[in-house]
A and B are shown apart, each in its own frame.
Chain A
């Protein structure tokens, strides 16, 4: 029983340590290299891409140990349970789960050329179009409702 408990506890500790190191790696994204690309030189121009980076994750773990003999029997017949204590096998179980993700999106392009330095914004047309369509649908639905209300 003690063996199982120790095993479950050590497993939980080990898992926690592993996830902690994973988190440290996720939080390592908080530096400039993940946001600004390495300069790309093309002729007289040097181009640097600036991106927005989002990453996150979470984990959870749980475990349990107990005797194989049901608790109700142990409670009803404690003497019997105690006498069979050595024979009673202990059981244990545990589980872990986690997930994470990372996403990046270019925000602007920095161009260094003979004319000087320029920052050109990058427009995500797909995102804007989808948001525009959603707003349009909301607007049309609201207008239709308003029209119905004014008629009725």
Chain B
């Protein structure tokens, strides 16, 4: 039986901490792994950094602005296409 777990995996991890003076930065990442019998794909991206200073730990997320903007543009054009499709199909129904 083929299990999704064997082929699709989301792995999170942390990198080696970097210490500068009294600041320690620990990077975090997330990897999406797709492994099939004769092909595979991996998408590894940074998610956040943990900043430790004077005993306080702060999590600073890393936002991919380019991807967010691209997704916005894609959703906008998709929405526009759907709206125009609905409008055209309605008109076609009204005509006869």
Contact = CB atoms under 8 A, between A and B. Distances in A.
The SS class assigned to the B binding surface is strand
A27 B33 contact: yes
Nearest to A60: B38
A122 B69 CA distance: 12
Contact of A131 (B20, B73, B84): B73
A29 B40 CA distance: 12
A27 B16 CA distance: 19
Contacts, number: 149
Nearest to A112: B20
A138 B80 contact: yes
Interface string A39-61: 10000001010111111111110
A86 interface: no
Interface of B: 11, 13-16, 18, 20, 23, 25, 27, 29, 31, 33, 35, 38-46, 49, 51, 53, 60-66, 69-70, 73-74, 76-77, 80-81, 84, 87-88, 91
11 contacts: A27-B42, A30-B33, A35-B15, A35-B27, A46-B18, A52-B64, A53-B43, A57-B39, A59-B39, A107-B62, A138-B77
